[in-house]
Chain A
Amino acid sequence: MHRTIVNVILLVGLFFGLIVLASGMSEWRLPDNQQGYAPQQPIAYSHRLHAGELGIDCQFCHTAAEHGRHAGIPSTDVCMKCHKYVTSSFDVLQQEIKLADEKKRKPETVISTELQALYDTLGLDDPKQPIPDDAKSIPWVRVHNLPDYVYFDHRAHVAAGVTCQKCHGPVESMERVRQFESLSMGWCVNCHREATEDGINGHAVKASTDCATCHY
């Protein structure tokens, strides 16, 4: 009798233990595999809205992709090109105009929480100009992060005609950016082999698979 109870308790414990373990395991990856990583960002910037709905070109903000090793995170003044004037979503602004019309008053500036966070980093008040000296950089969390011994150069890939989505996935549909591909070496090398064999968009390319292409 006692033994049965002990066995039942052990079995139940094992069951829960496995559940806990399994749920914990789902977070585990092979070392350095960050596929699916989608950290919370300090400002909930939506690529779906900007790149998807509004159709802004990737390189409008990530200008360095064409010129440098890093695509670069746009400086805050790039955001301010538009958001000096656009302070909230179109719908909210429309609503405010409608409401102001009804109440026969001038429409007030409506600032969304996310844009308020942007303005706060810059320490901006109402006229939003000029950007004060004590402006702080936004601490974006890096999503795509290769090990230190890997040297990936955006320039080479943009020049060869590789689309951004080839490595970054459908960013234009992502509310919050996540790492779409594994970015493992095998994945890189496969693409290099295929590109050398088949070309990119009909252009012949030579994507080397020498170690020192990426490791030095």
Chain B
Amino acid sequence: MRSKHRPTVRRATIERPLMNNESHNKYWKSLAERDGSRSDNGVNPQDGSPFAISRRRFLEAAGFTLSLATMQGCGRTPTETALPFVQQPEGVIPGRSQTYATTCAGCTAGCGLLVKVRDGRPLKMEGMPEHPLSHGGLCAIGQALPLGLYDSHRLQHPLKDGESAEWEGVDQLISQQLSDIESGGEAVRFVTSTVTSPTLQSSIDNFLERFTDARHITFDAVSSSAILDAHEQTHGSRVLPRYRLDAAQVIVSFGADFLGTWISPVEFTSAWRTRRVPTVEHPEMSYHVQLEGRLSLTGSNADRRLRLAPDEYGLVLSHLYAKLAQRAGESLDQDDLGTAPIADDELTALADRLWAARGESVVLCDSQDVAVQVLVNGINHRLENYGKTVDIERPSRQRQGNDGDVLELIDELNAGKVAALFVAGTDLTHNLPDRDGLAEAIGKVGLVVSFSERLDDVSSLAGFVCPDHHPLESWSDAEPVDGVIGLSQPLLAPLGDTRSVVESLARWSGNDDSAYDILRANWEQSIFPRLESEESSPFVRFWDQSLHDGYVEVAPTTEAVGEFQADAIKPIGDSPATDDCLSLYSKVGLTDSRHAHNPWLQELPDPVTKVTWDNYVCVSPAKASELGLSDGDVVRVESTGTDVGLELPVLIQPGQHDRVLAIALGYGVKGTDRFADVGPQWLEARPTVEPGQFVGKNAAGLIEPHEGTLHYSRGDVSITKTGRRHELASTQEHHSLEVPARVAPPGAEKRDVVQETSLTAFAEDPTSGTPEVHHFGDVQLWPEDHPKTGHAWGMSIDLNACTGCSACVIACQSENNVPVVGKDEVRRQREMHWIRLDRYYSGEGDDVDVSHQPMMCQHCDNAPCETVCPVLATVHSEEGLNEQAYNRCVGTRYCANNCPYKVRRFNWFEYPHGDELQNLALNPDVTVRSRGVMEKCSMCVQRIEEGKIEAGRLGEPLADGQVQTACQQSCPAQAIVFGDMNDPESAIAKALEGPRRYGVLEEFNFRPTVSYLRMVRNRDADESGDHHDHDAEGGDHV
């Protein structure tokens, strides 16, 4: 509309020569070039543009191309063959998926997994609702397993000195060397990440038995060793407690990102959620305080968040301990303690809260300082939390890393004392500091065997690489929590010539059993006797039932833990006075280096920073202005003590402690240069990874070994600006609901996209937090066209339960064939995720509140997109869905422009599906979209259709909950409810009746079918009032 008059002018000048052409065709033919040389068709050939073409020529060419294309389409489509089975396996129906129960091996949390297998291909990972730990949730890593399975970079054969070899030869050579070592009595070291599998553990024990000097060392890339060490001091047993957040009314976490990456995020999220949803009858919630340096996902969900650098945890915990001792009637001298970096009344209030909730509270801490963890134990003991919220009778086995052992191993390696080194499940050299020194030391070891699936850093140093199966290809088990044992079954035959670790170890011990035989034998021997059952049943039945269920609950094995040793507690009087404090953390959805080869996870925006495809240094806004930094400035972070340095771009993170610099681990992984040309390759495409580089940089060099543990925070760091820049691919401001200020109409109101209230206000008035807005009528555009007499699909998202963990993003990507676009396209705002997590900050100053809001197509009844589509490619269904017909779409993008929620995604390119192996992860029930069409959330209409058809086949009505969208199914917090709003008994109908329901921008009468449940923070009304004015940060100009 800007240049309203210009087109008419243009048309006049165009028409004249055309008329001339027609009337004086013969003469003007040669002069047409002269006409063309005039700028009458908007293009001047003399401007040197190689694409200058006359209108007539263009139409000729277009017509010719079109007719050619049509003629080509008139032929027969290519012949396709259909290959039936020779012998159809029982129960298999081509084109129908079957679900198998197994255990997720994405990390050591051991969540229950239901795998949809279709035509022999595992396709979709779903959470197992019955599982006692994960309760149906599954995180982004679990969702992304198929892409790891169908990865053409996984090793297909064993390697000997980097060359492909045969198993037979490899086995022979290894066995020979082992018998030499055995007879020589030399040292054998077996390094693994935490082994939760009882069968693998017993295999390793059996394997090592024959050597006189053999040790099994557990190394976790991100370790919780200090918690175990602290329990050894206070309880006489090296255990990791199982934290029962479902029993905790007050949760105080010192840096532990338990909703994002810490130990068992899905289990914790599901437990945390049970006390986070207030109802009108019971307006109660747990109280969650987070004290942390960086802004973690968990911190972003806390009711109260205090900024505290990691090196100050000890001092604050000591104060807290002293205050609790006071309340217990003991007088503890507080005078020795330095001044706490947190206001005293704040700490007193916290102590009061904790004391009032004795036995119903929990204090968590991610510090790797044993003395700090001992204090945490002291506090939990004083609060009588042991046996209630902190369970060491049935402890967790999810992190068993022993850093002391690892440091000892490094010394042994350096001294050349190790004769054989086995590494399984961890990239040892990548995840430890002083990589080069360690690599040199490993070079001195005679026999180095790696079981890695791919050629990672430590494998490239190993003489033998004996690749393990992918977890979806192998028999295994897992005991994440004492007494809860998951069983894993293979879901397809191994794609390469790989072999499970258990089997390899058996071979080298002269045993020919298969992994299945070994597993089953171990279950019969060790696990079956632990079954606490009244009636005796044969093992076969137990085995079959366990295999069917995917998990079993048996008696715990742990011996009784000792009495609490109060004298272990030593207050930490002071915090080191350093300028900066480095904090190394794990990124949600990537954790350590194991999943760095997964493009879905690399392109998953960090839930808080929203950056993809990179790691970076997070600094606080104050720090940035002090150093004159802006987003993307490359800085050098250096440890002054060790001269280890790292150059990374800066990201300014509101809410971060001013002294803290935060860098994510798990980046810079060998082999990730494969992503250089991920995404569309076109004229202006820039590579996702620069030549010779990896995705991000490895920050493990900055880990500090100190007093027997690996510390992820250290004080001796300096930060300097390099002057270079690196553009981060952040989705932070993409698809904003806000109209940019420069085009916003004068007087535009901010809209309350995110709505929140406080618990006290909610208790008084459940509808509190409803903004006063002017509603623009409630006219239905097409009442007779949208009768919704049958089903009326609807969804509600509880903002109080949603943590922003982004599992839904990957669930959707996996279910709906959403392509990966690469870093450069993300920079151009062209990421394709159908569901995004909008993260809003609110509040002024350094302390910010965070709100997470999943945003996808709202399936408006009065959909603005539908009215502008010139070809009716997006229309409304009788069941209230906003449908997108890809085959009808011509790609005008009007709909995306008119969408107030900015949830439509355009296929700018034919996104590469060139990797045939990776294509096996595509869901055959959803069209792979081609270039030039629009797409968006369909509310998993393929699942709705499947549900309806199957119900029709069985002659039964479609039951509530039978159709679940992909995002809903795996949500660890069960924040999403989907169903038929016409069924008054359905979960969705009930969810929508609640007082917290609102629709985003519903005042405009778009009539969104997706509703949100208002967020309630556990605060007093006035406390929240401070922030209420700033809610508008989450609201927008419209």
Contact = CB atoms under 8 A, between A and B. Distances in A.
A210 to B, nearest CB: 4
B949 A155 contact: yes
Interface in A59-82: 64, 66-70, 72-78
A148 B887 CA distance: 10
Contact of B94 (A68, A138, A139, A149): A68
Contact of A159 (B84, B886, B928, B953): B953
Interface stretch (B75-83, B207-215, B402-410, B911-919): B75-83
B70 A31 contact: yes
A135 interface: yes
B949 A212 contact: no
Given A67-B93, A139-B81, A212-B877, A75 B952 contact: no
A95 B108 CA distance: 72
B74 A31 contact: yes
Interface in B936-961: 938, 941-942, 945, 949-950, 952-953, 955
Nearest to A143: B82
Nearest to B789: A206
Contact of B945 (A32, A72, A216): A216
Contact of B953 (A37, A139, A156): A156
Interface string A74-105: 11111000000000000000000000000000
B885 to A, nearest CB: 4
A75 B885 contact: no
A140 interface: yes
B883 A211 contact: yes
A53 interface: no
Contacts of A211: 875, 877, 883, 885, 888
Contact of A151 (B79, B80, B875, B945): B945
A32 to B, nearest CB: 7
B12 interface: no
Interface in A28-67: 28-32, 34, 37, 39, 64, 66-67
Contacts of A190: none
A171 interface: no
Nearest to B88: A75
Contact of A72 (B77, B84, B881): B84
A138 B77 CA distance: 21
26 contacts: A32-B73, A69-B95, A70-B95, A75-B84, A75-B85, A76-B87, A77-B86, A131-B86, A131-B87, A137-B85, A138-B83, A140-B81, A141-B81, A145-B77, A149-B886, A155-B949, A155-B953, A158-B953, A159-B953, A210-B883, A212-B877, A212-B945, A216-B883, A216-B926, A216-B938, A216-B945
B62 to A, nearest CB: 18
Contact of B927 (A64, A153, A215): A215
A145 B84 contact: no
A160 B191 CA distance: 60
A126 to B, nearest CB: 19
A148 B950 CA distance: 21
Contacts of B84: 72-76, 137-138, 140
Interface of B: 70, 73-77, 79-88, 93-96, 790, 875, 877-879, 881, 883, 885-888, 925-928, 938, 941-942, 945, 949-950, 952-953, 955
Contacts of A149: 886-887, 927
A213 interface: yes
A112 interface: no
Interface residues of A, number: 51
Given A64-B94, A141-B81, A216-B945, A155 B938 contact: no
Given A151-B925, A212-B883, A68 B93 contact: yes
A210 B877 contact: yes
Contact of B928 (A69, A75, A138, A148): A148
Contacts of B96: 64, 67-69
Task: Across the A-B interface, give the 9 residue pairs with the lowest CB-CB distance, nearest first.
Answer: A31-B73, A75-B85, A210-B877, A75-B88, A73-B84, A137-B83, A69-B95, A139-B81, A70-B95
Given A73-B82, A141-B81, 4 more contacts: A75-B84, A140-B82, A211-B877, A212-B883
Interface string A193-216: 000000000000010101111011
A68 B86 CA distance: 19
Contacts of A122: 86
Contact of B941 (A30, A64, A77, A216): A216
Given A135-B86, A153-B949, A156-B949, A206 B74 contact: no
Contact of B885 (A159, A160, A215): A215
A211 B887 CA distance: 10
Nearest to A39: B79
A68 B955 CA distance: 15
A31 B67 CA distance: 12
Contacts of A28: 74-75
Contacts of B883: 210-212, 215-216
B250 to A, nearest CB: 47
A128 interface: no
A22 to B, nearest CB: 14
Contacts of A64: 93-96
Contacts of B80: 141-142, 145
B908 to A, nearest CB: 19
Nearest to B71: A28
A73 B950 CA distance: 21
Nearest to A140: B82
Contacts of A127: none
A27 interface: yes
B860 to A, nearest CB: 16
A80 B925 CA distance: 32
A148 B929 CA distance: 10
A121 to B, nearest CB: 8
Q: Which of A28, A72, A216 has the most CB of B within 10 A?
A: A216
A32 B77 contact: yes
A186 interface: no
Q: Which of A28, A131, A210 has the most CB of B within 10 A?
A: A210
A212 B880 CA distance: 11
A37 B82 CA distance: 16
Given A66-B953, A140-B84, A156-B952, A210 B70 contact: no
